[in-house]
Amino acid sequence: MKITLLNIQESGDNKEYNGGFGTTWQIGNSILSRVLGKIRSKEEYFPLVSFGYLAAILKQNKHEVKFLENKIPTDSDIIIIQPSLIRHKKEIRFLKKIREATSSKIGLVGPFVSVKPELFRKYSDFMIIGEPEQAISKIKNRKIPRGIIKSRSTKNLDELPYPDWSIFPLKRFSYGLILPKKPFTFILSSRGCGYDCSYCPYKVLKGYRLRDPMKVVDEIEHMQEKYGIKSFMFRDPMFSLLPQKTRIMAEEIIKRGIKIKWGCETRLDKLDEEFLDLLYNSGLRAIKVGVESANEDVLMNAGRKYIEKEHQEKVIRYCDKKGIKVIAFYILGLPEDTKETIKVTMKYAKKLNTDFVNFTLCTPIPGTRFFEEIKDDLITNNWEEFDNFHMVFKHKNLTKRELLKLQEKAITSYYFRPKYILKHLWRSITR
CA–CA distances in Å: residue 391 to residues 221, 282, 332, 360, 377: 43, 41, 10, 10, 11
Residue 240 has pLDDT above 90, yes or no: no
Largest Cα–Cα distance of the chain, in whole Å?
A: 62
Q: What is the mean pLDDT of the chain?
A: 93
**The pTM is what?**
0.94
CA pseudo-torsion sign 152, 158, 164, 165: positive
Res 207: pLDDT: 80
More confident residue, 36 or 164: 164
Taking the alpha carbons at both ends of the chain, their separation in whole angstroms is 49
Q: Is 327 left (phi over 0), alpha (psi -120 to 50) or beta?
A: beta
Kindly report, residue by residue over 258-270, the tens digit of the pLDDT.
Answer: 999 999 999 999 9
Residue 127: name the closest of 144, 143, 149 by CA: 149
Res 414: pLDDT: 94
Res 40: pLDDT: 75
CATH number of 173-430: 3.20.20.70
Residue 339 has pLDDT above 80, yes or no: yes
CATH topology of domain 2-33+48-150: Rossmann fold (3.40.50)
Res 186: pLDDT: 96
Lowest mean pLDDT of 20-34, 127-141, 216-230, name the range: 20-34
Residue 301: name the closest of 272, 335, 330 by CA: 335
Distance CA 47, CA 49 (A): 6
How would residue 431 be classed by pLDDT, with cut points 50, 70 and 90? low
Please state the φ and ψ torsions of residue 281, each to the nearest 5 degrees.
-65, -25
How would residue 43 be classed by pLDDT, with cut points 50, 70 and 90? confident
Residue intervals of the chain classified under CATH 3.40.50.280 are 2-33+48-150
Res 78: pLDDT: 98
Res 29: pLDDT: 72
Rg for the chain (alpha carbons), in Å?
Answer: 21
Residue 33: name the closest of 427, 431, 423, 389 by CA: 389
Residue-wise DSSP of 320-370: HHHT-EEEEEEEE--TT--HHHHHHHHHHHHHHT-SEEEEEE----TTSHH
Residue 33 has pLDDT above 90, yes or no: no
- Please give the average per-residue pLDDT across 51-63, as a whole number: 97
Kindly report, residue by residue over 9-28, the tens digit of the pLDDT.
Answer: 988 888 999 989 998 877 76
How many C-beta atoms lie closer than 10 Å to residue 284's C-beta?
26
Residue intervals of the chain classified under CATH 3.20.20.70 are 173-430
Contact 36, 407 (CB under 8 A): no
